[in-house]
């Protein structure tokens, strides 16, 4: 069996880290990196630290508007699919690389397997929501991480080929947290104490591209009265400069960090405030309260279980969440048992 995997952005590297090596135990994998993320600290460091096999192809697509970015990927991927003739194409999550990988395969009648299928925010303005829905509807194998994701697919009439296998990110985090404990020196490097800071990330287009929302979020962090550590996504940096926004001295801004340092920062934080999908789950995996700066979430179970709270881009709610939110219930097993990758490979 020849599996062709398409990755392109950080969250996909995290997921491929769990699955690629399992595929290669018995089958052949061709790994294609679209180059959507290209900075060393957003790409190369993930491959090195997570021991992901070296990509067979790097399309070097880089940044650009959605049409250009996705379109360039389609053109390049078609040539590779024609040459490699894979039995199946594997895509992850909801980025433009996911949609391009799936759409190109579907047009060539190559079966598509979608890992992290069925997630919905019900906000069609998000590029990720468009990518997810389109990808799910052209996939033959839909690997859902949660019960809610399975229900979402059923509601859209997708019943065949759906497998509830748990979340591959859980597999990854279990492995990476061990590596991080042994190898990360980020706390010393940033001069941080255990349980003494709020770890924050902001990068979603819905927040960065709207000056009012971004101003509220930065204002809340500045006025939170807490030490905040923020690995800054280049997109957020760019928009902050163009809106004339700046951080106060309680916010320690650092370059994007590699996966081991990120998990270490998560494990030693007191709380996590984010607009990322992946980080909401990672907060749950490392047992930290999560304050989500969005109006909706795909990971509703974490909210229902009391470990995640939605505060939107409302300044007062963010400050209140940072200072007062504390889970009171025990964690439930929402994301499977950490063996999702093995199940996926067995099924395909």
Q: Is 96 in the site for ligand UD1 (CB under 6 A)?
A: yes
Restricted to residues 21-80, the positions that interact with ligand UD1 (CB under 6 A) are 36-39, 42, 63
Q: Between 73 and 286, whose beta carbon lies closer to ligand UD1? A: 73
Residue of minimal CB distance from ligand UD1?
Answer: 95
Cβ atoms 121, 300 nearer than 8 A: no
Q: Which is nearer to ligand UD1, 39 or 241 (CB)?
A: 39
Residue 238 binds ligand UD1 (CB under 6 A): yes
* Stretch of 8-16, 103-111, 164-172, 311-319 contacting ligand UD1, by CB under 6 A: 8-16
Active-site residue flag, 33: no
Query: Is the CB of 254 or the CB of 270 nearer to ligand UD1?
Result: 254
- Cβ density class 251-285: b for 16+ within 10 Å, e for less: bbeeebbbbbbbbbbbbbbebbbbbbbbbbbbbbb
Q: How far is the CB of 310 from ligand UD1 (least distance, A)?
A: 17
Pick from 4, 6, 11, 207 the residue near ligand UD1 by CB under 6 A.
Answer: 11
Which of 3, 4, 9, 112 is the binder for ligand UD1 (CB under 6 A)?
Answer: 9
Which of residues 96 and 292 has its CB atom nearest to ligand UD1 in the complex? 96
Cβ proximity to ligand UD1: between 35 and 321 the closer is 35
Name the residue nearer to ligand UD1 (CB basis): 215 or 235. Answer: 235
Does position 280 bind ligand UD1 by CB under 6 A? no
The answer to whether 301 contacts ligand UD1 (rule: CB under 6 A) is no
Decide whether 85 or 238 has the Cβ nearer to ligand UD1: 238
Contact track, ligand UD1, 131-160, x by CB under 6 A: ------------------------------
CA distances from 60 to 38, 66, 106, 267, 295 (A): 7, 15, 22, 33, 33
Catalytic residue among 203, 237, 268, 287: 203
3-state secondary structure string, the chain?
Answer: CEEEEEECCHHHHHHHHHHHHHHHHHCEEEEEECCCCCCHHHCHHHHHHCCCCCCCEECCCCCCCHHHHHHHHHHHHHHHHHHHCCCEEEEECCCHHHHHHHHHHHHCCCCEEEECCCCCCCCCCCHHHHHHHHHHHCCCEEEECCHHHHHHHHHCCCCCCEEECCCHHHHHHHHHHHHHHHHCCHHHHCCCCCCCCEEEECCCHHHHCCHHHHHHHHHHHHCCCCCEEEECCHHHHHHHHHHCCCCCCCEEEECCCCHHHHHHHHHHCCEEEECCHHHHHHHHHCCCCEEECCCCCCCHHHHHCCCEEECCCCHHHHHHHHHHCCCCCCCCCCCCCCCHHHHHHHHC
Tell me the closest approach of the beta carbon of residue 209 to ligand UD1, in angstroms: 10
Identified binder of ligand UD1 from the candidate list 94, 116, 150, 301, rule CB under 6 A:
94
Binding flag, residue 234, ligand UD1 (CB under 6 A): yes
- Shortest distance, position 238 Cβ to ligand UD1, whole Å: 6
User: Nearest distance from residue 38's CB to ligand UD1, in Å?
Assistant: 4
Q: Does 95 bind ligand UD1 (CB under 6 A)?
A: yes
Binding residues for ligand UD1, rule: CB under 6 A, are 9-11, 36-39, 42, 63, 94-96, 127-128, 203, 234-235, 238
| Catalytic site positions | 203
């Amino acid at each position: 069996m020849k599996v062709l995997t398409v990755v392109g952005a950080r969250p996909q590297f995290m997921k491929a880290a769990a699955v690629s090596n399992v595929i290669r135990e018995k089958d052949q994998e061709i790994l294609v990196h679209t180059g959507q993320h290209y900075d060393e600290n957003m790409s190369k460091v993930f491959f090195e630290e997570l021991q992901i096999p070296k990509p067979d192809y790097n399309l070097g697509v880089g940044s650009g508007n959605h049409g250009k970015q996705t379109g360039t990927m389609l053109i390049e991927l078609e040539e590779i699919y024609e040459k490699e003739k894979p039995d199946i194409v594997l895509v992850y999550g909801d980025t433009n690389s996911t949609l391009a990988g799936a759409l190109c395969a579907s047009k060539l009648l190559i079966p598509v397997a979608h890992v992290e299928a069925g997630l919905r925010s019900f906000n069609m303005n998000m590029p990720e929501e468009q990518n997810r829905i389109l990808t799910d509807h052209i996939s033959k194998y839909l690997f859902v991480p949660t019960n809610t994701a399975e229900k979402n697919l059923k509601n859209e009439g997708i019943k065949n080929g759906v497998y509830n296998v748990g979340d591959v990110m859980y597999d990854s985090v279990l492995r990476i947290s061990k590596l991080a404990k042994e190898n990360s020196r980020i706390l010393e490097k940033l001069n941080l104490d255990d349980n003494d800071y709020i770890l924050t990330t902001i990068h979603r287009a819905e927040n960065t591209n709207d000056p009012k929302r971004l101003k509220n979020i930065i204002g809340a962090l500045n006025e939170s009265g807490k030490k905040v550590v923020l690995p800054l996504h280049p997109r957020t940096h760019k928009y902050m400069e163009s809106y004339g926004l700046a951080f106060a001295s309680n916010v320690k801004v650092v370059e994007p960090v590699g996966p081991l340092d990120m998990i270490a920062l998560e494990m030693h934080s007191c709380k996590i405030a984010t607009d990322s999908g992946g980080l909401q789950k990672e907060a749950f995996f490392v047992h930290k309260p999560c304050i989500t700066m969005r109006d909706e979430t795909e990971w509703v179970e974490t909210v229902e279980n009391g470990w995640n709270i939605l505060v939107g881009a409302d300044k007062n709610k963010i400050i209140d969440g940072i200072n007062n939110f504390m889970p009171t219930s025990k964690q439930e097993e929402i994301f499977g048992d950490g063996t999702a990758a093995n199940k996926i490979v067995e099924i395909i």
